[in-house]
Amino acid sequence: MSFYDAMAWLEASPLGHAMRDTGLWTYSVVNLTHILGVAMLFGSILILDLRLLGLWKQVPLSALSAPVVSIAGIGLVVALISGSGLLATKATEYVGNPFLYIKFPAIGLGLLNIWLLHRSSAWRAHRVRALEPREESQLRRMGGVSLASWLTAISAGRMIGYW
Ligand code: HEM
Give 63-90 pLDDT, tens digit per residue: 999 999 999 999 999 999 999 999 999 9
Tally of structural domains, the chain = 1
Query: Using CA atoms, how far apart are residues 163 and 154, in angstroms rounded to an integer?
Result: 15
Query: Is 123 a pocket residue for ligand 1 (Cβ < 6 Å)?
Result: no
Give the Å distance between the CA of 154 and the centre of ligand 1. Answer: 7
Query: Using CA atoms, how far apart are residues 28 and 34, in angstroms rounded to an integer?
Result: 10
Residue 75, SS3 per DSSP: helix
Helices marked H in the chain: 3-12, 14-21, 25-52, 61-89, 98-119, 121-125, 133-160
Query: Using CA atoms, how far apart are residues 117 and 121, in angstroms rounded to an integer?
Result: 9
89 CA: nearest ligand 1 atom: 10
81 CA: nearest ligand 1 atom: 1
Give 139-149 pLDDT, tens digit per residue: 999 999 999 99
Candidate from 42, 160, 162 with most ligand 1 atoms within 8 A of CB, to mutate: 160
Query: Using CA atoms, how far apart are residues 47 and 150, in angstroms rounded to an integer?
Result: 13
Give 4-46 pLDDT, tens digit per residue: 999 999 999 999 999 999 999 999 999 999 999 999 999 999 9
pTM exceeding the 0.95 threshold for the entire prediction: no
Query: Is 160 a pocket residue for ligand 1 (Cβ < 6 Å)?
Result: yes
Structural domain containing residue 52: 3-160
Give the Å distance between the CA of 23 and the centre of ligand 1. Answer: 21
